[in-house]
Amino acid sequence: MSNKETLESFLRGQHISRRAFLKYCSVIASVLALPPAAIPALANKLRRSIRPPVIWLSFQECTGCTESLTRSHAPTIEDLMFDFLSLDYHHTLQAASGVSAERAREKTIEQSFGKYILIVDGSIPIAEGGIYSTIAGRTNLDILEEAAKGAAIVVAVGSCSAFGGIAAANPNPTGATGISMLMDNGLIPRKPLVNLPGCPPLPIAISGVLTNMIAFGRLPELDNLNRPLSIYGKTVHERCSRIRHFRRRRFARRFDDYGAKKGWCLFKLGCKGPVSHNACAVFKWNQGTSFPIDSGHPCLGCSEHDFWDKGSFYRQLRRRRGRRLRRLQ
């Protein structure tokens, strides 16, 4: 596929119908909170857009973020959008290895300087000069600093690259750090940054932000943690299917009690949905099949800063927050 190919000709080559394409555009419009009137403009812009070069760096991570995006039971148009990107370097997915893989990254940096999208998953270890994670003899921090210099935007995929995640949990022996903290401390160049936290993040959040970039060449509106407002602007609680039980004070108190079996609210089992911002209750995983609360497990707050150290996953939120809950109803 040529880097000059438009999305329209790419989709034609993949035998994607106009109807399926418009359906995809309407889903993305809802992810980005665009009004229905904006769907034709989104579709027109997208059709004419050219493949953007992308470098995807994976550091201290578990591969869950990549799996979230790529694991689906059948090919979807979201997968095809992902195929449309010129994914010039991705540790996990690329066929190349060794010198040729490293060369592909260097070539993209050289030839598309200032234009490529840099996606990062995993935290960056900075303790002891960054020696805890190296690739081809170079520290993660060194590789990231080089790639960030020529990036048009940086997208931090997952809680580890956004905020440090599990690897940064106390006592954080590797000095695991998120991208925004590295930018704040001048360890990497400051670039426009979108954080897509979650463990893992919603696949539609990743493809929605990339689609917005491809179509309009700009970032979506962000909150104070650089998260897209359209996805992270409300709490899990506000959109939860169990909220009617919360309002009627019908709570499961054990994982095997009557309330748990009846699908009652998981607040007393430590649910952090009231203080966690994410759209997982709306978009879900595995093509909209489920998310933790639908499967009977309380929200752990995986999309929030300090996820993990805030911990005490199964302890009920404190009363101070309980008061705030009542205001939400």
> Where on the chain is the footprint of ligand F3S (CB under 6 A)?
198, 236, 276, 278, 280, 291-293, 299-303
Least Å distance, CB 290 to ligand SF4, is 14
- Residue 202 burial (10 A CB sphere; 0-12, 13-18, 19+): buried
Residue found by looking up tokens 């270890």 in the block: 125
Q: How many CA atoms within 13 Å lie on the side-chain side of 219?
A: 19
Q: Which of the choices ligand SF4, ligand F3S, none does residue 86 contact, using the CB cut-off of 5 to 8 A by kind?
A: none
Q: With binding defined as CB under 6 A, does residue 265 bind ligand SF4?
A: yes
Q: Which of the choices ligand F3S, ligand SF4, none does residue 242 contact, using the CB cut-off of 5 to 8 A by kind?
A: ligand SF4
Least Å distance, CB 300 to ligand F3S, is 4
Q: Which of the choices ligand F3S, ligand SF4, none does residue 56 contact, using the CB cut-off of 5 to 8 A by kind?
A: none
Nearest position to ligand SF4, beta carbon: 273
Q: Which of 228, 183, 223 is nearest to 208 (CA)?
A: 228
Least Å distance, CB 82 to ligand SF4, is 30
Query: Can you tell me the distance from the alpha carbon of 155 to that of 211, in angstroms, rounded to the nearest whole number?
Result: 13
Q: Which of the choices ligand F3S, ligand SF4, none does residue 49 contact, using the CB cut-off of 5 to 8 A by kind?
A: none
Report the side by side order of strands in the sheet with 193-196: 86-90, 53-58, 116-121, 151-157, 193-196
193 and 156 Cβ atoms separated by less than 8 Å: yes
Q: With binding defined as CB under 6 A, does residue 236 bind ligand SF4?
A: yes
Please list every residue from 266 through 325 that binds ligand SF4, using CB under 6 A. Answer: 266-267, 271, 273-274, 293, 299
Cis peptide before 171 (omega within 30 of 0): yes
Residue 211 CA: distances (Å) to CA of 13, 91, 143, 259, 324: 19, 22, 26, 41, 35
Least Å distance, CB 2 to ligand F3S, is 38
Q: Fill in the amino acid letter for 71.
A: R
Q: Which of the choices ligand SF4, ligand F3S, none does residue 155 contact, using the CB cut-off of 5 to 8 A by kind?
A: none
Least Å distance, CB 234 to ligand F3S, is 12
Q: Which is nearer to ligand SF4, 176 or 293 (CB)?
A: 293
Torsion of CA 128, 134, 139, 142, to 10 degrees: -160
Structure tokens at 122: 């995993």
Least Å distance, CB 175 to ligand SF4, is 33
Q: Which of the choices ligand SF4, ligand F3S, none does residue 243 contact, using the CB cut-off of 5 to 8 A by kind?
A: ligand SF4
Residue 41 CA: distances (Å) to CA of 4, 34, 47, 297: 21, 11, 10, 40
Residue from 231, 237, 279, 291 in contact with ligand SF4 (CB under 6 A): 237
**Which residues in this chain contact ligand SF4 in the complex, by CB under 6 A?**
236-237, 240, 242-243, 246, 265-267, 271, 273-274, 293, 299
